[in-house]
Amino acid sequence: MFEIPKNHPRYWSLKERHLIIEGMHKKIVAEAGLIAHGRGEAFDYLLGEETPQYAYLQEEVAVAALLLSEYPIISVNGNVAVLCPKELVQLGELTNAKLEVNLFYRTTEREINIKNVLVTAGATKVLGVDLGTRAATLPEISHNRRIVDPEGIFKADTVFVPLEDGDRTMALRKMGKTVICVDLNPLSRTAVWGSITIVNHVRRATQEMVVMAEKMRKLPREQLKSIIENYDNNYMLQESVKFICQRLSTMAKKKLIEG
């Protein structure tokens, strides 16, 4: 693993870049995952590489929705498997959500490698691997992401899908499921089609959701319901776009380097 000095001003960004590259060599991350990550990095620059205030609300609502679900599933792809495996396992345990490997570029080798990453991170059960004839399919999707576990996403009432593609978010919504997604791009089809969209970096979002879930799991259901009541995803996407515009507008007026 490439060593990045901890005091480097962009330590996390560089560390993640190398996790993604290493993950691709180990056949965990898809080649296209590098491009997707770069797109995410660009949007994260616009956020200032920290969690904006609006995102805490999106995350809180997402945790409440997971805790209120009858059958929640966390969908895991190559990128999130290398960026935040421990957080996904912890979130699953705290919200009683099962983990399912679900890939756009599906190969048995990657399914098994991602399962192994999750097991190393503490998972006891991982769905979506080596499905063969047991596979269920989502309607209206032609690519590999239509393949799902009949005991997982197919049956779920709520699906948490960090780094999703728009088609599948749409298909899951049309099946009546609540879809929670994380996407740094508030304009993506995934972001727009999600029931609850978290516009934040997936590592920060899942770390913060774990801390929230530890506290919120003790709350009465009525209180959790009041958190998601009146939540308006479109309004919150508008807030995220406004945040980016205001931040850029402030930066356009200020001296960027002192001296």
Region of 48-56, 183-191, 215-223, 251-259 interacting with ligand PTJ (CB under 6 A): 183-191
Residue closer to ligand PTJ by CB (options 75, 158) is 75
Q: Answer for the pair 127, 151: CB distance below 8 angstroms, yes or no.
A: yes
Q: Is 33 a residue that touches ligand PTJ (CB under 6 A)?
A: yes
Region of 35-43, 48-56, 116-124, 152-160 interacting with ligand PTJ (CB under 6 A): 35-43
**How far apart, in whole angstroms, are the C-alpha atoms of residue 94 and residue 79?**
22
Q: Is 242 a residue that touches ligand PTJ (CB under 6 A)?
A: no
Q: Is 151 a residue that touches ligand PTJ (CB under 6 A)?
A: no
Q: Is 196 a residue that touches ligand PTJ (CB under 6 A)?
A: no
Q: Answer for the pair 200, 55: CB distance below 8 angstroms, yes or no.
A: yes
Query: What length does the chain have?
Result: 259
Task: Give Cα separations from 214 to 45, 149, 199 (angstroms).
Answer: 29, 28, 22
In the complex, least distance from residue 161 CB atom to ligand PTJ, rounded to whole angstroms? 9
Q: Is 165 a residue that touches ligand PTJ (CB under 6 A)?
A: yes
Q: Which residue stretches of the chain are H helix?
A: 11-25, 31-47, 53-68, 78-83, 85-95, 108-120, 166-174, 189-193, 202-216, 221-228, 233-253
Q: What angle do CA 134, 140, 145 make, to 5 degrees?
A: 50
Residue 160 phi, psi (nearest 5) = -95, 115
Q: Is 202 a residue that touches ligand PTJ (CB under 6 A)?
A: yes
Q: Is 78 a residue that touches ligand PTJ (CB under 6 A)?
A: yes
Residue closer to ligand PTJ by CB (options 103, 148) is 103
In the complex, least distance from residue 169 CB atom to ligand PTJ, rounded to whole angstroms? 10
Q: Is 34 exposed, middle or buried (0-12, 13-18, 19+ CB in 10 A)?
A: middle
Residue closer to ligand PTJ by CB (options 154, 224) is 154
Q: Is 85 a residue that touches ligand PTJ (CB under 6 A)?
A: no
Site residues (vs ligand PTJ, CB under 6 A): 30, 32-33, 36-37, 39-40, 43, 77-79, 83, 103-105, 163, 165, 182-185, 188, 201-202
